[in-house]
Amino acid sequence: MKRVPKPVFFIVALLILLLAFTSIFGISGQNGDNPTTYIKGVKDIRWGIDINGGVETTFSPATKTKATKEQMDSAESIIKLRMVNNNITDYEVYTDYNHDRIIVRFPWKSDEKTFDPQKAINELSATALVTFREGRECSTQTTGSDGQPVYQNPKGVTASDIILQGNDVKSAKPELTQNNTTGKATYQIALQLSDSGTKKFAVATKRLKNQTISIWMDNTMISWPTVDDVITDGNCVINSPNGFSASDASALANKINAGALPFKLTTTSLNSINPTLGRSSLSAMKLAGIIAFALVALFMIFVFRLQGLVADISLLGQVALMFAAISGYFPFVHSFTMTLPGIAGIILSIGMGVDANIIAATRIREELWAGKTLDLAIANGNKHSFSAIFDGNITTAIVAIILMLVFGPSNILSAIFGVSTTGTIYSFGYTLLVGIISNFVFGVFTTRLMTKSISGFRFARSKWLYGGPKE
Amino acid sequence: MKTFHMKFYENRKIFFSISLAIIAIGLIFNAIFGVRLDINFKGGAMIKYSYMGEIEPAKVESIVHKTVGRTVSATVSKNIKSASSGQTLDNVTLSFAGTDSLSVANQQAIQKSLDQVYPNANFQIVESSSVNPTMGRSFFLKCLVAVLIAFLLLDIYIAIRFRRIGGTAASVFAIVALLHDVAMVYFTFVIFRLPLDANFIAVVLTILGYSLNDTIVVYDRIRENRRLLGLKAGYGGLVNISINQTFTRSVYTSGTTFLSVAVVFIVANFYHLNSVTTFALPMMIGVLSGAYSSICIAGPLYVMWEQHKVKVRAAALPEKHEKAQLSEPVSAAKPASETTAKKEPEKETAVKQETPKQGGKPKQAAKPRPKSKGKQKSKGKKKKR
């Protein structure tokens, strides 16, 4: 057998400890006044609503007729705008055009004292009030989560003079145009007004030529175009100096359309969880995880002795890798919203994860009892166990992938059955899959390296340490 | 080193009876109590409040009924411990009859009228759930389709993987073992009267993958041993040896998995985390069942099938008797039970290529096999010291 140098054991073990430490605690420091996170740890994990507390709700139009895609987009844009206005940035919105559903999931804000999901839902689903107003005076200016200024609460003439209301707008559509100065293709928004709207707008644009008419949703200003021409036929465009991007244009069009939505949004399903319950769940699961890890680790040492110790170091690496895959430790892996089933998946993986080590260790033990030398037993045991380990992982991997495909936000079955409301199983699939991969990485490669390396030490030459007979 | 010598094949009737008994009990429960679907699958509404002081469930029920005109049952659970702080809470759960969701306005109305009657109770929503029946149904269908897809994919995997192990018959038995495990998980929900929810789907899928892996390990060892040992010990012996060799690993792995899930179950149960207990309990049963079905169901079934085939073949070709001499002696096959008394040594059909050592097919006709017990201890030890 190829000898693995003695220091390898310590190097691998140290690297695993380092990974474990950084993936659990993360690395953060002070950058001037701002705490900066260099490497994300467990505390940076994004928790799902079943842990943070929060609301998951489904809105549907309160009409019998099917809503158009544009109408659903408008409804979605209302909800998104209101989320942002409420400082909820961590929301998820999924719109199902086939079934006319908008699923919204958002965590409870940590600074909010009382938990009142019903109030939050009412705020989100209230009919949008879109207005065109004179001027652009407002009393509040804040910075939104995207760094752009947000203007709120009209005042002065802007508050008093409402030129158009949402239902005066027949349609707002993004359309392609060519920018006159740069010649580049950009987007603008084409508005078509109703008959009454056309009359009102003709009067107003005549009076306010070369001044600003601002467009508001609820009490937030969403656009403030300048009137270039008197508009008498009810057709006009909103453009910006450099032109809109496609997404900006459709976002604005959706918001303007929201004021003319022919239906109210009703709540067809609502799940809410109190943050207190969620915190208790998280602490309980942490406790369960630590106990499970300790018991499995002790079991391995008791049964497999030195090999069990090596397996435990690998197991620590496995768990660390799972944390890393969830928290966004690696820049190329996005952080993943963790839910209670997700944590259960981690703990389940602790139990299942020693499988690779058990297969290899029992094989080595068999070889030792058959009278092989230590080196030969380790080599043979590793060789013979590989296919069984591979097999063991592949079936569970298939299942984990199906779980993710089915319970993910948009998935293979959504087309038929609609977007699903229960996203908690999604992260179970993810932790199960990550568990399998890390089991493979650590249970096979690092365990082997460490076993081969440590077996080079004199103190570790006894077969008994590997489960073999006493000499 | 200890080696197991359990007679899995000989005791198959006991194993089959245990499984059938559990399934029978499950069916009886199913017939008497039916199976409940969770709100997320069938639609309906539930609100759980925390409160202080004393309340009367019956009074709460009547208040809610008066407010929203729906029948409701109120269940009080006291002293719910919190794992994050020392305090305990009293909770009352309102479960609404029927499958309709509860509008936000109605939810607010309920809280308002409760607050009026119990001004000091400080009702706070702990969790609430209200699902429209149409959405529930489509989610349920989606989940069932997911299980079907998983099952189909695993079947395809089995078909590919088992070409080398035992062909169609082995695949069929692996699937039987999977169905057995799904049944066990399902009956756990039925017997413990847990409503079927997304957890059920998650557990079923996980156990499908987990159990299949065990079955593959056992069948793989059978194939390997047939090559190494031939069929001296008969199929029963061969399967016994193979299972005993993989038994240690099966016990350890399902042991550690069971241990972790059991810890989760105990902790979750202590803190009344319902969504976690309904996940952990069926998972515990599923892990046990997954190991059990591979060892005690799939293995013996395989032997029975092979022996059945031999019997059929022997009846059809009695004149080929003499060829049997090519095969090895049958001396120590197994304690011939009634059914196996006139059984033949085996023959390969599906797996010819795997037995290089054996020149011919054993084709002994109805020659009663010598009965001897405790045989495979003496033979067929491959590597156990």
- For an interface test with B, the pick among A279, A422, A471 (most B C-beta atoms closer than 10 Å) comes out as A422
pLDDT for res A45: 85
Percent of chain A with pLDDT over 90: 11
Under 8 Å between Cβ of A383 and A359: no
pLDDT for res B350: 40
Highest mean pLDDT among A119-128, A302-311, B131-140: A302-311
Superfamily of chain region B44-131: Ribosomal protein S6/Translation elongation factor EF1B (3.30.70.60)
Phi/psi region, residue B230 (left: phi>0; alpha: psi -120 to 50; beta: rest), is: left
Confidence band, pLDDT 50/70/90 cuts, at residue A139: confident
Coil/strand/helix, residue A431: helix
Alpha helices in A161-243 (DSSP H): 195-207
CATH number of A7-41+274-466: 1.20.1640.10
CATH 3.40.50.300 is right for the domain spanning A54-271: no
> Average pLDDT in the A146-174 region?
82
Q: Does B316 touch chain A (CB under 8 A)?
A: no
| List of chain B residues with pLDDT < 50 | 322-385
Interface list for A 327-386 with B (CB within 8 A)? 340-341, 344, 347-348, 350-352, 354-355, 358-359, 362, 365-367, 369-371
Q: List the single residue in B with minimal CA-CA distance to A415.
A: B142
**How does pLDDT run across A377-418, given as a tens digit for each residue?**
888 888 878 877 887 788 888 889 888 877 776 556 666 666
pLDDT for res B340: 40
- For an interface test with B, the pick among A272, A343, A432 (most B C-beta atoms closer than 10 Å) comes out as A272
For residues B263 and B277, what is the distance between their CA atoms, to the nearest angstrom?
11
- For an interface test with B, the pick among A406, A412, A414, A424 (most B C-beta atoms closer than 10 Å) comes out as A406
**How does pLDDT run across A203-235, given as a tens digit for each residue?**
888 888 888 888 888 888 888 888 888 888 888
> Average pLDDT in the A273-292 region?
89
pLDDT for res B368: 46
Under 8 Å between Cβ of A81 and A104: no
| DSSP, res B37 | B
**How does pLDDT run across B276-293, given as a tens digit for each residue?**
999 999 999 999 999 999
> Average pLDDT in the A186-215 region?
88
Confidence band, pLDDT 50/70/90 cuts, at residue A248: confident
CATH number of B1-41+136-385: 1.20.1640.10
Does the pLDDT value for residue A290 go beyond 60?
yes
Quick check: do A7-41+274-466 and A54-271 share a fold?
no
Does the pLDDT value for residue A123 go beyond 60?
yes
CA angle (A342, A347, A351) in 5-degree steps: 135
Sequence letter at residue A330: F
Residue ranges per structural domain of chain B: 1-41+136-385, 44-131
The more confident residue out of A13 and B375 is: A13
pLDDT for res A183: 74
pLDDT for res A310: 92
What residues in B contact A403, CB-CB < 8 Å?
A: 146, 202, 205-206
pTM of the model: 0.79
pLDDT for res A420: 58
Confidence band, pLDDT 50/70/90 cuts, at residue A184: confident
pLDDT for res B292: 92
pLDDT for res A2: 59
pLDDT for res A299: 94
Which residue shows structure tokens 């056992």?
Answer: B218
**How does pLDDT run across A74-89, given as a tens digit for each residue?**
888 888 877 877 777 7
Does the pLDDT value for residue A57 go beyond 70?
yes
pLDDT for res A266: 84
Query: Residue B8: which H helix or E strand, with range?
Result: none
pLDDT for res B50: 87
pLDDT for res B142: 84
Helix then strand count (H, E) for chain B reads: 10, 4
Residue ranges per structural domain of chain A: 7-41+274-466, 54-271
* Min Cα–Cα distance to chain B from A161, Å: 33
Confidence band, pLDDT 50/70/90 cuts, at residue A113: low
Could you tell me the two tokens for A185?
């293709």
